Structure 1
C-alpha cells in the first residue's frame, strides 16, 4: 500500500491547487483523505496488537476544561431532568466539539490564502452562500461509517524529554522536531508502519493538570494563545505524509502555535491531504501502561459522531492491548 501513494516530492498532485495538496488521489469527491489508507488488510494486521484485551479510553472528559476552554470555545453544559411521574431521567448536552478531545474534520481548517478546503471545497458550499446550494460535503459524519481504526502508535515525547533533561513549556510557542520524534521511536524500540495512527504525548496534559484556575484564566486571556506542538517544516510534512493515516496528540493546537512559517500544518494536513488531526487526547494512562509493557503500539478504535456536515467530533477512542 505504501508504494501506491505518491512520494512527498510529487506533491502537489493538483498543480492548479494549493501547495502540497493530494487532491484527486482518491477521486474528486473523496471525503476520507488519508483514512483511505486504513484498508481491510491494514486493519486486520493491526488486530495482532490485541494480546491481553486490556482497554484504555483516550477521551478527556467533555467537561474537563470546565467553563474555561481555550480559543474562546463554548463550555460543555449538561442538563439532567426527570420525566415525572415516572422514575425516569433524560439529559441534554450542549458543547463545542473542540472543547475537549477531538478529531478535526475536513471542514475545520482550509488553506487560508486560497480559501479552499480538501479537494477544493469552498466556504460557499459549506454555508450555502452566494447562490451556491448548502451541502454536507467534507462533513465528519463520513468518517463514522468505518471509523478510524488501526494500529495506534504512541510517541511519548514527554517521558523521553524528561529523561534527556530537556526543559519544556507547554504554554510557550516551541516546536517538536521530526528528529526528536524519530529519537523517541528509537528509544522506545517502536517500529512505525504505514497507515499507523500517530499519537504524540507532548506533556501538555501533565502541565495543564498542575495549573490553578487563576493561572488558566491568565493563559486563556493571552492574545495570541501560545502552545508547544510539532514543528512546521518540509521534514515534518514528509514524515506525516509517508507514514500515517491520522495524527494527533495531547496538546490543543497539534502544531506549534502560532505557526512559525507562512503556512500552518492544519492547512496541509486537513485541506491538502484530508488527514485527521487529533487534539487534547488524554494520553496519561495509556503512557503509563505502555511503559509497564515496554510496548508503545496498540489496536486503536475510534468512531467520530455521525453528524452529516459536522466540523469536528469527540473521537470516542480506545487503545486495546
Structure 2
C-alpha cells in the first residue's frame, strides 16, 4: 500500500505543480473520477495534490488561499464594518461528548505581591465552542488514518497536521461566503426544523439559497452555512440547552451523500464552516461511506469550522444585500494543535 500511495501522491503533486506555474491564481484539479486511486481509500481522495519538493503537505485546501486569491478577497472591503464570528468561550453551557466546560481563574497580584495587577488562567476544550477542526482531529474510521496518510499512532505522538501549520502560513485569510440557509428556508417554506434534531440539509437547498441570495462562488472561498443552531442555543432555556447538547448528541447539518460530496469537490473551497455542532447532520452514517468529516478533513484536507456565531453576520448581509466579505482567522498557534477557536472576523 505504501508504494501505491506514494505513486498516486507523486502523480497528483506533479499535476498540481505543472498547472499552477506561470503566476496563475488558481489550481487546476482533475475531475473527481480522474483522481489517481489511493489503495484503501475511496475514489476522490486528494492525497499528494499539494505536496511539494518531496515533502508531504500538512495544510490541505488552505493552500488555495494564494496571495492572488487573498488580494482579490480584499476587494470585498468597502465600508470597513467588521463582525467577530466567535461565540464567547463560556457560551456553550453544556458541551457535548463529555467535554469539560470553560473555566476562567482570575489571579489577583495583590494577594501575594506589592503590585496592583491582574492575570487570568483559562481552560478550554478546543471542541466545546466556536472552533476549527484540524487535519488530525477526525480519522477515516475504517483505516484509522488522517489527511495525507498520517496514521492514528503517528498522530498520537507527532505534531504533523497540527493547527500550527496554518499559523506559520499566516493564518486563514480569504473571501468568506455566507449561505444563509435558515433565512431562505423561513422565507420559502416557513418554520425551520429544530436544530437539535438530525435534520439533513440537502445540497440542492444550499444551491437554491445561493441563487436566492444572488451569490456566485469562486475557487478558494470559505463557505459558511447558517442552519439555526446558534440562534436556538441563544434563546433556549437551561433545561433545553442541557437536553439538546449534553444529553443528546444529535444536530442539524448538511446531508452527507454522494451528490453532496461531488458538489463540494467541484467548488474547491479553502475551508467549510457552519453554526451547528458538526457541520454535517450528526451522528453520521459511517456505513454509507459519505461521512463529511472523513471526506473534508481526511480525503481533501479541508478544515471544518463549527458552532460559529453567524447571527450578526446574517443581519449585516441582509442589510447590505450581499453575502460575501473579507474573512480573517487567527487560530491558536499551538504546535500539533488538534482544534482551535477561530478568532474569525468578517470585514465588509
With normalisation by structure 2, the TM-score equals 0.86
Deviations 1:231-268 (CA, angstroms, capped at 9, x unpaired): 11222112222221100110011001111434411011
Check whether the contact 1:14–1:24 (CA below 8 A) recurs between aligned residues: no
Higher relative contact order (CA 8 A, sep 6+): 1
Counterpart of 1:297 (choices 324, 328, 336) is 324
Q: What is the Cα deviation at residue 106 of structure 1?
A: 0.7
Deviations 1:188-235 (CA, angstroms, capped at 9, x unpaired): 111111110000001111112221111122233545x21110011222
Whether 1:183 and 2:212 are equivalent positions in the alignment is: no
Q: Which residue of 1 aligns with 2:39?
A: 16
Check whether the contact 1:14–1:23 (CA below 8 A) recurs between aligned residues: no
Q: Which residue of 1 aligns with 2:240?
A: 215
Check whether the contact 2:87–2:129 (CA below 8 A) recurs between aligned residues: yes
Range moving further from structure 2, 174-183 or 153-162: 174-183
Helix, strand or coil for the counterpart of 2:105?
A: strand
Question: Residues 222 and 83 of structure 1: is their aligned pair in 2 closer, same or farther, counting only changes over 3 Å?
Answer: closer
Deviations 1:63-84 (CA, angstroms, capped at 9, x unpaired): 1013x11222111110111112
Q: Which residue of 2 aligns with 1:72?
A: 98
Structure 1 segments, 4+ long, off by >4 Å, are: none
Q: Which residue of 2 aligns with 1:62?
A: 89
Counterpart of 2:312 (choices 285, 290, 298) is 285
Counterpart of 2:282 (choices 248, 253, 257) is 257
Q: Which residue of 1 aligns with 2:219?
A: 194
Q: Which residue of 2 aligns with 1:135?
A: 158
Q: What is the Cα deviation at residue 58 of structure 1?
A: 0.4
Q: Which residue of 2 aligns with 1:232?
A: 256
Range moving further from structure 2, 151-160 or 24-33: 24-33
Q: Which residue of 1 aligns with 2:79?
A: 52
Q: How do 1:72-91 and structure 2 match up within 5 A?
A: 72-84=98-110, 85-91=114-120
Helix, strand or coil for the counterpart of 1:98?
A: coil
Check whether the contact 1:231–1:256 (CA below 8 A) recurs between aligned residues: yes
Q: What is the Cα deviation at residue 14 of structure 1?
A: 4.5
Check whether the contact 2:98–2:246 (CA below 8 A) recurs between aligned residues: no
Q: Which residue of 1 aligns with 2:124?
A: 95
Counterpart of 1:150 (choices 174, 181, 184) is 174
Helix, strand or coil for the counterpart of 1:218?
A: helix
With normalisation by structure 1, the TM-score equals 0.94
Q: Aligned partners of 1:158, 1:258: CA distance in 2, in Å?
A: 21
Deviations 1:144-191 (CA, angstroms, capped at 9, x unpaired): 122111000000000000001244111111211111011111101111
Q: Aligned partners of 1:179, 1:257: CA distance in 2, in Å?
A: 19
Q: Which residue of 2 aligns with 1:247?
A: 272
Q: What is the Cα deviation at residue 117 of structure 1?
A: 0.3
Q: Which residue of 2 aligns with 1:131?
A: none
Q: Aligned partners of 2:126, 2:313: CA distance in 1, in Å?
A: 23
Helix, strand or coil for the counterpart of 1:125?
A: helix
Gapped regions of structure 2 (runs ≥ 5): 1-24
Check whether the contact 1:253–1:279 (CA below 8 A) recurs between aligned residues: yes
Q: Aligned partners of 2:167, 2:318: CA distance in 1, in Å?
A: 31
Q: Which residue of 2 aligns with 1:130?
A: none
Check whether the contact 2:101–2:125 (CA below 8 A) recurs between aligned residues: yes
Deviations 1:11-50 (CA, angstroms, capped at 9, x unpaired): 4x34214123100111251011101111111110111000
Helix, strand or coil for the counterpart of 1:289?
A: helix
Q: CA RMSD in A?
A: 1.4
Gapped regions of structure 1 (runs ≥ 5): 128-133
Q: Aligned partners of 2:278, 2:27: CA distance in 1, in Å?
A: 31
